[in-house]
Amino acid sequence: MSALVVLGALGLGGAYLAQLLRWLRVMQREHYLPGSASRFLSRWTSPTAPGAQARHPTRRPLTLSHILVVALIASLLAGRPLAAVVVSILYGLTCPTGLSLRGRTGRLRWTRRASTTAALVTALAAVIVALSMVASAAWAGGVIVVWLTPLLVDGAARVMLPLEDRRARVYVARAAARLATVRPRIVAITGSYGKTSTKQHLAHLLGDALATPGSYNNRAGISRTINEQLTDGTAVFIAEMGTYGPGEIRALCAWCPPEVAVVTAIGPVHLERMGSVGVIEEAKREITERALTVVLNGDDERLRSWVASLRDAGKKVLLAGSQAAGLDVRVRPEGEGWVVEVGDQSPRRLSAPVGLRASNVACAIAAGLALGRDLDELVTRAATLPAVTSRATVAVAPSGVTVVDDTYNANPASARAAVDLLLALDVPGRRVLVTPGMVELGRIQYGENLALGRRAAAHRIELVVVGRTNAVPLGVGYGEGARRVNRRDQAVAWVRSALGPGDAVLYLNDLPDHYP
């Protein structure tokens, strides 16, 4: 065997390993959903901005990935296998440029599932190489494996899905048995946005409830919380429930049936996966099917349309919010605080914690009332509601810069609210928006980020665009003067060097580093 063949084999092996580590990390961040690696590959390599339409300027700069694709095609057409191998090695080791091996925001954890997925992908790769050797074109198998690693990772995830589902059922059965033993009153909360904040508000208002931590809102997170943390005597269990499609919340409620269901909002979140807002609404409504009482954000027109049919089904419905008429529970701004209005009871006044959404607080109070808690007690505790981490929290840095941290996620409604908060701050100096834009909005993503850029420009807010995911629409919307950085830490460094006392910065959204 010649030294050239050995070097080629070692190079292709290293390139495959680099690709495997990259795309396995992406798959882990995306909860091993089949198709995730391919979807993110298109994000890294597509020459157009997500959600772009023909009438918009959409082209992104060419990257090394595009150049190497052209080089591979040219090598194959010219019948130059050695050149194809060299190009494939370069691609495997370096591309997509910016998608690092180790990761900055989330490194690969070698869990059982990650190890099993890696082993299955490697077995599939070995089969491809073996077949190419039988066909007397051993180099072709290595080239194919390097370029198709994302597809192999997706394939492995799809093969493993039934096995993982069977494994998960064991933990679900244990959690269901635990619920039957402890018998807590169950509150389930969903919504396109606002569900985590509302969950944390309700847990604080009740004081004696167990809530799913962080964003544990799927089957694994909810069952794990119950199995590990639900203790005898727990009075209330609050479960945040998320979904990527119809049927998922219904399945959660089958073994974790809520007495009270709360729906905070319907909007274009995960629209890329769900397809339409109508599908999102259908999926979220499943949470009401087993509930005796349903709390709806009455400021949301779609949710208000549910009331008649839910009441016809024999359910008690409470409308909570801040702005709409006919609300059962209203939390409205007045001066420097809030006024809580419930039916014909006397209004209660409290100081308003900065950055909290009144409609989320209203939904939490309504859920507390549905559980039979005293209104005065709920209002008293509402005055001490803590900020929700990375959700429109406001603080003054040692440098004197006012910082609004809204990095947890972003959607069109929350982005507008965060910019409103930035504009409402009593600061005399510069206002800066640092953002990678909004994602998973499907066909409306370009337009929503375009509108965000335009709004920043209209209010003379300086714009710092992070990454290239939405750089085109944000830049087009803003016009001249938008700053571009590749990573959030570069934006933070610029803010620290450029801003001072009297200035304010809004950090809106913070995409994981598997986004370009």
For the stretch 371-429, pLDDT in tens is 999 999 999 999 899 888 777 888 999 999 999 999 888 889 889 989 999 999 999 99
Per-domain residue ranges for the chain? 3-163, 183-382, 393-508
Alpha-carbon 191 to chain mean position: 13
β-bridge pairing 431-435 and 504-508: parallel
Instruction: Say what percent of the chain tops pLDDT 90.
Output: 73
CB 401 within 8 A of CB 365: no
- The partner residues of 95 in beta bridges, in order of sequence, read none
Per-residue pLDDT band for 60 (boundaries 50, 70, 90) equals low
Residues 107-122: tens digit of each pLDDT: 899 999 999 999 999 9
Helices (H), 78-218: 81-94, 112-134, 138-182, 195-206
Residue of 237, 283, 236 whose CA lies nearest to 263: 283
SS3 of 86, please?
Answer: helix
Residue 491 has pLDDT above 60, yes or no: yes
Q: What is the 3-state secondary structure (H, E, C) of 253-296?
A: HHHCCCCEEEECCCCCCCHHHHCCHHHHHHHHHHHHCCCCEEEE
Residue for token pair 């620290």: 496
Per-residue model confidence (pLDDT) at position 322: 94
The single-letter code of the amino acid at 494 is W
The single-letter code of the amino acid at 194 is G
Residue 54 has pLDDT above 60, yes or no: no
Residues 243-281: tens digit of each pLDDT: 888 999 999 999 999 999 999 999 888 777 788 889 999
SS3 of 48, please?
Answer: strand
H/E element, 237: strand 236-240
- The conformation of residue 59, written as its DSSP 8-state character, comes to B
CB 438 within 8 A of CB 448: yes
- The conformation of residue 102, written as its DSSP 8-state character, comes to S
Residues 441-467: tens digit of each pLDDT: 888 999 999 999 999 999 999 999 999
- The partner residues of 442 in beta bridges, in order of sequence, read none
Strand order across the beta sheet in which 316-321 lies: 209-211, 236-240, 185-190, 260-263, 293-297, 316-321, 329-334, 337-342, 348-351
Per-residue pLDDT band for 57 (boundaries 50, 70, 90) equals low
Q: Which of residues 99 and 460 earns the better pLDDT score? A: 460
Per-residue model confidence (pLDDT) at position 135: 84
Cα dihedral 268→271→275→277 (10° resolution): -10
> Span 319-328, mean pLDDT?
93
- The partner residues of 431 in beta bridges, in order of sequence, read 504
> Span 485-504, mean pLDDT?
95
Q: Which CATH superfamily is 183-382 part of?
A: Mur-like, catalytic domain (3.40.1190.10)
Q: Which two tokens stand for residue 419?
A: 């910019």
Own/partner contacts of 481-485, CB < 8 Å, gap of 24 or more, are 482/453
The single-letter code of the amino acid at 149 is T
Residue of 235, 234, 241, 336 whose CA lies nearest to 284: 241
CB 97 within 8 A of CB 64: yes
SS3 of 336, please?
Answer: coil
Per-residue model confidence (pLDDT) at position 354: 67
Residue 139 has pLDDT above 90, yes or no: no
Residues 28-47: tens digit of each pLDDT: 998 899 999 999 998 888 77
Per-residue model confidence (pLDDT) at position 268: 86
H/E element, 405: strand 402-406
Residue for token pair 């274009």: 268
Q: Which two tokens stand for residue 495?
A: 């803010």
CB 506 within 8 A of CB 393: no
Residues 174-204: tens digit of each pLDDT: 999 999 999 999 999 999 989 999 999 999 9
CB 426 within 8 A of CB 394: no
Per-residue model confidence (pLDDT) at position 440: 87
Residue 101 has pLDDT above 60, yes or no: yes
Residues 145-180: tens digit of each pLDDT: 999 999 999 999 999 999 999 999 999 999 999 999
Q: How far is Cα 477 from Cα 57, in angstroms, rounded to an integer?
A: 11
CB 210 within 8 A of CB 184: yes
The single-letter code of the amino acid at 98 is G
Q: Which two tokens stand for residue 37?
A: 């690696």
Q: How far is Cα 51 from Cα 58, in angstroms, rounded to an integer?
A: 9
Ramachandran quadrant class, 400 (left: phi over 0; alpha: psi -120 to 50; beta: rest):
left
Neighbours of 184 (CB within 10 A): 19
Write the CATH number of the domain with boundaries 393-508. 3.90.190.20
CB 437 within 8 A of CB 470: yes
